[in-house]
Amino acid sequence: MPAKLCVNIDHVGTVRNARGEGEPDPVHAAALCENAGAVGITAHLREDRRHIIDRDLPLLKEVVKGLFNLEMACTNEMVRIAMNLRPDQVTLVPEKRAEVTTEGGLDVRRNMKVVRAATRKMLGAKIAVSHFIDPDEKQVDAAAESGATHVEFHTGAYARLFDRQNARAMEELGRLRAACLQAHALGLIVNAGHGLNYRNVVPIATLPHMNELNIGHAIIGRAIFCGLDRAVSDMVRLLRHAR
Ligand code: PXP
C-alpha cells in the first residue's frame, strides 16, 4: 500500500496573516487538497498563532472529510483546545517561539510525565495521539510506553542532507528504517514528515510500514507556480508509484 498524503496547510495561513485579512483561506485550501487526492489535512496551532488561528479549527473540523490531524505543543492550553475540538488525531510536537519551523523531535523520554498525561487524556476522548520524534531507539520506546498510537518520524535531517551529502542522507535513511521497524514491532503506526519534497520523498515513502506523510512547504511552494490541485496530485502520483 502506498504511503498516504496529509497536506500541512500552515503556509496558506502564513500568507493570509501577512495581510491580516481573510485570504487565502486555509479552510478553502483544505477542501482543494482533499479533492486533489490528499487523505487528510494537518494544521499546527502554534502558541503565537503565526499561521493557523483559532477561528480555523472548527471550520477545518467541519470541512475536512478525511483525517484531520492537529499538531500542537504539549501544553495545558493546547490540550484543552484539542479536547473541545476533537480532531481525529493530535500530533504532539516541541515548540519554541523563536524557531522558523519545528526544529527537532519531541523529547518524550525527558518529559514522560507530562506527555503521558496529555496522551492518556486525549485517548480517553477517542483522539488518536502521535508523537513527533527523532528516529531514536530510546524515543520510540518512550512513545510506546506513554501510550501513543502513532509516531511521526522527523525527516528534517535526512531532507537537509539529501541534495548536498547523499552518503550521509543514506545513513540517516538507515536510522529511519530501523526506527520504523522498531515502532511497528511495538504496535505503533508509523508516519513521517518535515522537509520532504518532490525529489527526496520516495525513499521515505518506501520505508517499511510507512503509513502517512505530512508535507507542507514543498506542496504549498509548488502551488504558487502551478496551482494547489496540481501540486497535490503530483505528490499523490509520486507516492502511488513509489517502489
Ligand atoms: N510534520 C511536523 C510535525 C511539522 O512540524 C511540520 C512543519 O510544520 C511538517 C510535518 C511539515 O514540514 P514541511 O513543511 O517541511 O513539509
pLDDT (0 to 100) of residue 14: 97
Ligand 1 pocket, mutate which of 194, 196, 213 (most atoms under 8 A from CB)? 194
For residue 184, indicate whether it is catalytic. Answer: no
**What is the number of other CB atoms lying within 10 angstroms of the CB of residue 116?**
17
Q: Annotated catalytic residue: which of 11, 154, 194, 212?
A: 194
- What would the pLDDT profile of 42-59 be if each residue is shown by its tens digit? 999 999 999 999 999 999
pLDDT band at 1 (very low <50, low <70, confident <90, very high): confident
Query: Does the beta carbon of 86 sit less than 6 angstroms from any atom of ligand 1?
Result: no
Tens-place pLDDT, residues 11-44: 999 999 999 999 999 999 999 999 999 999 999 9
Rounded (10°) CA dihedral 140, 38, 224, 28: -110
Give the tens place of pLDDT for each residue, 135-165. Answer: 999 999 999 999 999 999 999 999 999 999 9
Question: Is the shortest distance between the CB of 149 and ligand 1 below 6 Å?
Answer: no
Question: Which positions ≥6 away from 208 have C-beta within 8 Å?
Answer: 177, 180, 181, 184
- What pTM was computed for the model? 0.96
Report pLDDT for 126: 98
Summarised one tens digit per residue, pLDDT across range 63-116 is 999 999 999 999 999 999 999 999 999 999 998 767 777 778 999 999 999 999
User: Burial level of 20, CB count in 10 A (0-12/13-18/19+)?
Assistant: exposed
pLDDT of residue 25: 98
* pLDDT for position 99: 73
Which residue has 486525549 as its cell numbers? Answer: 122
Q: Which of 3.90.76.10, 3.40.50.10070, 3.30.465.10, 3.20.20.70 would CATH assign to domain 4-240?
A: 3.20.20.70
Strand partners, 72: 92
